[in-house]
Amino acid sequence: SQNQDISFAVSQGVEIDSMILKNSQMVLDVNSGIPADAQVRITIPGLVKNGIIFSELIPVDYSGSMPVFTQTTVPLHDYHLNLTKGGTTSNTLEIIYAVTFSGNGNGITNSNTLQCNASIQSMQYQMLYGYLGQQHIGNLQDSVELSIFNSAFGTGLFSIVDPKIRFDISNSLGI
């Protein structure tokens, strides 16, 4: 087995603890140059849905020619993604790869390799937890002209009760 830590690239002091995903998907690629059947188990302890840790078993069937490429896509809607590695850090995701080979009598040399790649694509979230740093929001004005009063006759009073401001912020990462 092999562990891999993936650091999420963020800027301006952002520390993401966790998020609840929506409409995202995990793409798992396995490229094998080993002349044998294999099973690759990919486990992500920080990716949980309904109390169950994400774990996917990918069969790699050797048919006599190499390389053998396998791709699996798993929807991640409603998964909770924890990026703290058990509370020790932030912005970091741990992935554990475990490979089991089924022998067929073919020899394996140092030049034979097996490569695994896990990526989250179309990443969107429902909720995001952590410290978002100090972000520049842009040029905000303290007043908004309402043109409906430009042609009003006479005088009167207009007031807004219980005003609220809503920020919808997005970028290419969905953050």
* More confident call, 120 vs 12: 120
Q: How high is the pLDDT of residue 151? A: 54
Q: What pTM did the predictor assign? A: 0.74
Q: How high is the pLDDT of residue 149? A: 53
Digit-coded pLDDT (tens) for 45-66: 999 999 999 999 999 999 889 8
What average pLDDT score do residues 135-155 get? Answer: 61
If you average pLDDT over every residue of the chain, what do you get? 84
Residue 153 clears pLDDT 60, i.e. is over it: no
Digit-coded pLDDT (tens) for 98-127: 999 887 777 888 888 999 988 888 888 888
Residue by residue, what is the 3-state secondary structure of the chain? Answer: CEEEEEECCCCCCCEEEEEEEECCEEEEEEEECCCCEEEEEEEEEEEEECCEEEEEEEEECCCCCCCEEEEEEEECCCCEEECCCCCCCCCEEEEEEEEEEECCCCCCCCCCCEEEEEEEECCEEEEEEEECCCCCCCCCCCCCCCHHHCCCCCCCCCCCCCCCCCCCCCCCCCC
Q: Is residue 169 very low, low, confident or very high in pLDDT (cuts 50, 70, 90)?
A: low
Residue 173 clears pLDDT 90, i.e. is over it: no
Q: How many angstroms separate the CA atoms of 170 and 167, rounded?
A: 10
